[in-house]
Amino acid sequence: MNRLGFTLFLLFPLLSGCGGKTYPPIVFDDWWNFDFMSNSCDTWQKVGQPCFDSGKELVVAFENEVETAFSTESNCHGLVLVHGNAYKSPSETPQGEHFQLILDLNGHRDQEKVYEVWGLVNLKRKINLQAEITTPQRLVQQVCEVVKGIGGNS
């Protein structure tokens, strides 16, 4: 086999997409996630309860945990997780079909966990799911199963 033939042989899987199924991206809805945390903190402070100093830092830290779990979860291979802000910066959010991942985090400082509920929305497929957040790893497993259509029971 000549060099050109060998090179094409090696590149064929990349050029042909490896025959794998493609999935719509999963988009963190940063506007929702930050706004929900801010409102949660405002509510706790109105009743004299402590809140995290920076709800935004808490959201970023939790999203980082989710991204780490996403990168190691076998059910997520072949999927893409990105950040978007559909309400304030539509150009930063993927156009076309995507899964919107929203997080309702609790800003109360004295609670054992700051997790509350995650939601996954896909308007094209008419999917609107919610489940309790137990751990970032479990959230990722559930979301990736739904996106791939291999599970999704919460």
Q: What is the DSSP letter of 123?
A: T
Give the Cα separation of 117 and 49 in Å (integer).
21
Q: Return the higher-pLDDT residue of 5 and 49.
A: 49
When pLDDT is cut at 50, 70 and 90, the band that residue 25 belongs to is very high
Across the range 91-99, mean pLDDT stands at 74
Contact (CB, 8 A) for 130 and 140? no
| Mean pLDDT, range 1-30, rounded to an integer | 60
Q: What is the pLDDT of residues 36-88, one digit of tens each?
A: 777 777 776 777 776 765 667 778 888 999 999 999 999 999 999 998 865 55
Q: Where along the chain do its domains lie? A: 45-118
Tell me the C-alpha distance between 113 and 128, whole Å. 24
d(CA 123, CA 154): 20
Buried (b) or exposed (e) across 141-151, using 16+ Cβ within 10 A? Answer: bbbbbbbbeee
Q: Among candidates 115, 119, 97, which has minimal Cα distance to 106?
A: 115
DSSP annotation of 91? G
Q: What's the pLDDT at 14?
A: 43
Residue 27: φ, ψ to 5°: -120, 115
Complete DSSP assignment for 49-70: --B-S-HHHHHHHHHHHHHHHH
CA 69 to chain centre: 11
Residue 94 pLDDT level (bands cut at 50, 70, 90): low
Of 57-71, 92-106, 107-121, 129-143, give the lowest mean pLDDT range: 107-121
Centroid of chain to Cα 4:
41
pLDDT range class, residue 112, cuts 50, 70, 90: low
